[in-house]
Amino acid sequence: MEKRILGRDLEVSEIGLGCMGMSHAYGTVSTEKEAEALIDKAIDCGCTFFDTAEIYGTAEDPHHNEKLLGKILKPYRNKIVLASKCGIRFDETATTVNKPLIPDGRPETIKSSIDGSLKRLNTDHLDLYYIHRIDPTVPIEETAGAMKELIEQGKITHWGLSEADEDTIRRANKVCPITAIQNRYSMMYRDYEKLFPVLEELGIGFVAFSPLANGFLTAVYNSHAQFEKPGDYRSMMPQFSDEGIKENKEFILWIKLLAEEKKATPAQISLAWMSAKKLYIVPIPGTRKVSRLEENMKASEIKLTKDEVKAIDEMLDNIPMSQVFGGSKIQKK
């Protein structure tokens, strides 16, 4: 698999692995054996970029994902780029499947969080550390200042923002140069394309989470009843509702036909389209299945021309599609 450069010379594989689903939001939690098989295969496929967060866990073990990766990735640590995130917690009083998020970007929270993550991940530093969501009650300059201190201390080598807008990016970058933003991005959620000019101006990479619209762009779902309960966020996502599946019928047919033309799968077309748009975009699809992981990683072998990308964009601008999950509600502290 080819390499890509995010900001500040951070080299990663063209496609990374989002590890959240092994522990959080997609129903049954992966066993250590299942997760190890998945990560071993990712390494075999040339993946070097692994993404987690301190909040990815279960009710019984809130930090399950970092602990899991800390065990499995230890033998590979000097060969990979390891990213994690801090700065949010769940509202545990909520009864919804996807509990609201409470942001906390205070410097003291960041400094406390990094020590916990390093311990759980069995490492002395993180290659990339994000603020998971922007805290509107804390000036982003203070948050960036705390990240700068962590870099100076050697606890992290790069930092970034998740779900950030242009003003926040510019202000934070002045205090401590940003390596990457991690925002939601897929064929069904293109809102952040407006950030491309500022990212290019400042030399910042774009890590795309939910690049397959939470799995919808695999084009294998045709019934809302397929999702496990409790704990599977897809049970409340609009694209997976019975109405959403009907609204997306033409869109899914189109992407299947396009995939057939390219001798690929719909998921591979989705990832190849994203990679072809900008060389600083790196998608991090998640999965718990080895077969699906292999499919995703092989998307790097599919090359789309500028004209093909333009034609896809034009189709996406005009074809009917449903609303898509835009993230858990952000709640004030």
d(CA 128, CA 121): 13
d(CA 241, CA 87): 31
Instruction: Give the type of residue at 260.
Output: E
Give the pairing of strands 3-5 and 11-13.
Answer: antiparallel
List of residues 6+ apart from 114 with CB closer than 8 A:
86, 126, 129, 150, 155, 156
Q: What is the mean pLDDT of residues 208-214?
A: 91
Q: What is the mean pLDDT of residues 53-73?
A: 92
The predicted pLDDT at position 322 comes to 85
Q: What is the mean pLDDT of residues 186-215?
A: 95
The predicted pLDDT at position 329 comes to 44
Domain boundaries, the chain: 3-317
pLDDT, one tens digit per residue, over 277-326 is: 999 999 999 998 999 999 999 999 999 999 999 999 999 999 988 888 66
Structure tokens at 293: 């992981």
What's the pTM value of the predicted model, to 2 decimals?
Answer: 0.92
Structure tokens at 195: 């950030």
Q: Which residues pair with 84 in a beta bridge?
A: 129
d(CA 169, CA 141): 10
Options 3.40.50.1220, 3.20.20.100, 2.40.110.10, 1.20.1630.10; CATH of 3-317: 3.20.20.100
pLDDT, one tens digit per residue, over 231-268 is: 666 666 767 787 888 889 899 999 999 999 999 999 99
List of residues 6+ apart from 275 with CB closer than 8 A:
14, 15, 281, 282, 283, 299, 300
**Mean of all residue pLDDT scores within the chain:** 90
Positions annotated as catalytic residues are: 56
